[in-house]
C-alpha cells in the first residue's frame, strides 16, 4: 500500500495555470485607449522602465491609465520627479493626433522636471 500523496498532477496544473496567467497578463497590461502608433523603421527598444503617457485620437491624455487634464498631468509628474529625479516617460500618441498636442505634452513634462522623454512607435 502506498502512503504518500502523488503531487505530480498538482504541479502540472499549477504550471499550466502559471503559463495562462503570464500570457493573459501581457494582454491586460496595455488596456486603455486604442492608439495607432506611428511607424518608424529605426525603432529602438528601451530597456529601462518608463512612466507611460497616452494621448488618444481625440486628444485625451492618460497617465498610467488615469484620464488627466494638463494641470493635473503637470502636478502628477512633479510629484513623480520628486520621488525619482531620473524619471523617464514614454509618450504613446495616436498617429492622428496633431503635432502641437504631442509637443504640448512634452513641454508639460519638461516644465515638471522630466529630463528623459521618449516617443513610442511601432516597427
* The three grid cell numbers given for residue 83, joined into one nine-digit string: 520621488
CA distance 36 to 117: 19
Cell of 123: 516597427
Closest CA to 60 of 73, 49, 47: 73
Domains of the chain: 51-119 (3.30.420.270)
Closest CA to 77 of 34, 117, 119: 117
**pLDDT tens for residues 72-96?**
989 999 998 898 888 888 888 888 8
Does the reported pTM lie above 0.85?
no
CA neighbor of 110 nearest in space, from 84, 83, 77, 65: 77
Q: What is the pLDDT of residues 23-46, one digit of tens each?
A: 777 655 554 566 666 666 665 665
Amino acid at each position: 500500500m502506498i502512503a504518500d500523496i502523488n503531487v505530480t498532477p498538482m504541479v502540472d496544473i499549477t504550471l499550466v495555470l502559471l503559463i495562462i496567467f503570464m500570457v493573459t497578463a501581457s494582454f491586460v497590461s496595455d488596456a486603455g485607449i486604442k492608439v495607432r502608433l506611428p511607424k518608424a523603421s529605426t525603432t529602438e527598444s528601451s530597456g529601462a522602465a518608463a512612466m507611460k503617457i497616452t494621448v488618444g485620437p481625440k486628444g485625451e491624455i492618460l497617465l498610467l491609465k488615469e484620464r488627466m487634464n494638463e494641470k493635473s498631468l503637470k502636478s502628477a509628474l512633479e510629484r513623480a520627479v520628486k520621488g525619482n529625479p531620473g524619471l523617464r516617460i514614454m509618450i504613446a500618441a495616436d498617429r492622428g493626433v496633431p503635432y502641437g498636442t504631442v509637443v504640448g505634452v512634452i513641454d508639460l513634462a519638461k516644465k515638471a522636471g522630466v529630463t528623459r522623454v521618449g516617443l513610442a512607435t511601432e516597427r
